[in-house]
Amino acid sequence: MKKVVVAIVILLVIITAGILENFYVDKVFDALDKRLLELEGAVKSQSNDCAEQCARLSAWWEKRRSYMELFIYSPDVRNFSVALGETQGSLECADYQNALSKIQSLLVMSSNIHNIVDFNPADII
């Protein structure tokens, strides 16, 4: 009987951790998309603080990425950091058209990564 109780407790811990991880991933990617859209607006208006805003976004992402890599693995998560760095480089050179195209790529990458690491019922089947 003790083994059954221990197995049920372990199962509940695993399920709870999965649910909490799913909420965290959703929260991070919702915030990421919001920040990317804000950066896109700043680039479209060719604001003077675009490079600084991109640097803040990059620092914010690196903190989240390092934590997410503890419980998920996707090479795309690291590739996202590279693409974000390329965007920052374009902004520092005041190449707004290139930066805007890179931001569009970042938005697509964000959506793809979110779909990959997020729990979907189709993953069970």
CA–chain centroid gap for 45, Å, is 25
Q: Tokens at residue 6, please? A: 């221990």
Question: Where do the structural domains in the chain lie, given as residue ranges?
Answer: 2-123
Note the pLDDT of residue 20: 85
Note the pLDDT of residue 73: 79
Query: pLDDT at residue 125 above 70?
Result: no
18-56 pLDDT tens trace = 888 888 889 999 999 999 999 999 999 988 888 899 999
Which letter, b or e, does each residue of 15-38 get, where b requires 16 or more Cβ atoms within 10 Å of its Cβ? eeeeeebeeebeebbeebeebbee
Q: Tokens at residue 90, please? A: 């374009």
56-96 pLDDT tens trace = 999 999 999 888 888 777 788 888 999 999 999 999 988 89
What global pTM score does this model have? 0.83
